[in-house]
Structure 1
Amino acid sequence: MESDLRQWLLIIGPLLVLGVVLHGYYRMRKDRNELKMDLDKSYLSGDNVSQKDAERWSTSTEFPNGGARVIENHIEEKEFHKADYYPDSREEEISPEHKSLKEAEDLTDFVILNILTNSKRIEGQELLEFLMENEISYGEMEIFHKLDSQNEILYSLANAIEPGTFDLSGIDESEIPGVTLFMKIDGVNQAEMIFEEMLELAHKISEKFSAQIFDGTRSALTQQTIGHIRQNIREIKFKEMA
């Protein structure tokens, strides 16, 4: 039973994370466009908007590149809708073939590591305490994030099972078979260094909870795979500088 569950998670894991991260990315782009339209209308109607405010609004972002709302002393209860994490495909008139290709291309801009247990599940409270000790904060999209000194997201950690979120109000009674770490490469400064930090955390989780690390293609993470990931990061960053 546990073996079947792990195989199922390996199959849906990348799709789950892809839905989460692409939703955040597309919402970021959508919000920017809406803000730009609102600003344009304000200027046309003669509203007084300072240049400083306009720049602040037009550059405000949301996951994966923006800051996260860290929840320390309380939990913000909000209703979860599956559609929020899986955008309606009808919004874009793209053929299934082109859509699959587009998703595959988007996925290459992310590093995904799945950490799954073989049999014993991870207790939610123990995981929470471990993440707090390693300065991983609960925030945007009801998942965990590693933040820099400016509260910008470096990488994130999601639940390995659908819908990928964590409910802190019941985490002390929950048990999960694993977690998924992921980070964005494109447009991120020091992506290679961030990957090394994320990889270190993956190994810590693996050792702490007797779990195995898999890559985004559902294969066991090997030194060769790690080398390929590092090379992919370098190639993407090189293209950015070209």
Structure 2
Amino acid sequence: MDELRWILLGLGILIIAGVYGYARLQDWRRDGPPWRRRGHANREPFAHYSEPALDDDETLTGDPLTGSDQDDDILGPARVVETGPAPSPAAPTEPTEPPGDDLEEVRGRAVGEEKIIALSVMAPDARPWNGADVAEVLESADLRLTAQGVFQRTLDTDDGPVALFTVANIVEPGTFDAGNPGATTTPGIVLIMQLPAPFDGLAAFELMLAAARRVAQTLGGQLLDGRRCDLTTQAIEHLREELLEYRRRARLADRRRSGGA
């Protein structure tokens, strides 16, 4: 048993020595014998490479990878090459118009699909408004209480007054007491504009929005959209974009109708 252990130990030593010798032999073949390596210290790749200095007053010339300098005589000075004026963008088919409140009768534009814009103003919880207070605020915004018991902002046209928008009681049947508004209380009002009409919908919307804001600020109410959600700035911009698109389609429809007449 002892002889077998000594034999296995000797074989292990021989194998280790063989592997070591083979590795040294490969090193000799690649790098040469040790006495010829004195001038070659072990270094990391690109040991001689250093980053070029980049100063504000100096211009880097040459390629640090190839080590070659650019020849200014060959390249020549920099020149500006004129390629002609850039093509101007195509004009839009419909000019973009900012929202405004300038309102006048518009002939030939009461066309297009039916569209209804609604806003709501709600009184604080458990504190309904008196109809007389609502009437005072709306009348200051140039609305008038009609015989039907609703408030209207009107526009005088060649065919007579036209309602820009209507303000109704949010409680059915939606009316106030035409003879005595103070006899009515309400938890809120709804403002409604209906298109098509002989006026610009966007301008009428600005007037309706201003009236709704006046009620909310004066009586302490909450301004909501047609779905009874908070009327955010994004929601207002979305309504304006819808009305701009409606205006564009209405003008196209009016042109087609005029051309076919």
Measured in 1, the distance between the counterparts of 2:204 and 2:120 equals 17
Match of residue 200, structure 2, among 190, 200, 205: 190
Deviation per CA, 1:191-216: give whole Å up to 9, x if none: 11110111011100000111001111
Following superposition of structure 1 onto structure 2, how do residues 35-50 of structure 1 map, counting pairs within 5 Å?
A: none
Match of residue 143, structure 2, among 128, 136, 141: 136
1:157–1:180: 8 Å Cα contact kept in structure 2? yes
Match of residue 114, structure 1, among 115, 120, 135: 120
Following superposition of structure 1 onto structure 2, how do residues 202-213 of structure 1 map, counting pairs within 5 Å?
A: 202-213=212-223
Match of residue 170, structure 2, among 150, 160, 169: 160
Unaligned 5+ segments in structure 1 are 1-64, 66-104
Deviation per CA, 1:103-146: give whole Å up to 9, x if none: xx85xx01100100122211111212222222211226431100
Match of residue 232, structure 1, among 227, 242, 252: 242
Measured in 2, the distance between the counterparts of 1:127 and 1:192 equals 25
1:186–1:237: 8 Å Cα contact kept in structure 2? no
RMSD between aligned alpha carbons?
A: 1.9
Unaligned 5+ segments in structure 2 are 1-109, 253-261
Measured in 1, the distance between the counterparts of 2:181 and 2:196 equals 33
2:138–2:211: 8 Å Cα contact kept in structure 1? no
Aligned length: 137
Following superposition of structure 1 onto structure 2, how do residues 1-242 of structure 1 map, counting pairs within 5 Å?
A: 109-119=115-125, 120-139=127-146, 141-150=148-157, 151-242=161-252
Deviation per CA, 1:55-112: give whole Å up to 9, x if none: xxxxxxxxxx9xxxxxxxxxxxxxxxxxxxxxxxxxxxxxxxxxxxxxxx85xx0110
Task: In structure 2, give the amino acid aligned to 1:118.
Answer: P
Displacement of 1:236: 1.4
1:146–1:154: 8 Å Cα contact kept in structure 2? yes
1:115–1:206: 8 Å Cα contact kept in structure 2? yes
2:167–2:189: 8 Å Cα contact kept in structure 1? yes
Measured in 2, the distance between the counterparts of 1:168 and 1:241 equals 38
Measured in 2, the distance between the counterparts of 1:153 and 1:222 equals 26
| Secondary structure in structure 2 of the residue aligned to 1:110 | strand
Say if 1:187 and 1:126 are closer, same or farther in 2 by CA, change over 3 A.
Answer: closer
Measured in 1, the distance between the counterparts of 2:144 and 2:170 equals 17
Measured in 1, the distance between the counterparts of 2:188 and 2:172 equals 11
Displacement of 1:170: 4.2
| Secondary structure in structure 2 of the residue aligned to 1:142 | coil
1:213–1:221: 8 Å Cα contact kept in structure 2? yes
1:185–1:233: 8 Å Cα contact kept in structure 2? no
Displacement of 1:171: 2.4
Displacement of 1:189: 2.0
1:186–1:236: 8 Å Cα contact kept in structure 2? no
Q: Which is higher, the Rg of structure 1 or of structure 2?
A: 2
2:135–2:145: 8 Å Cα contact kept in structure 1? no
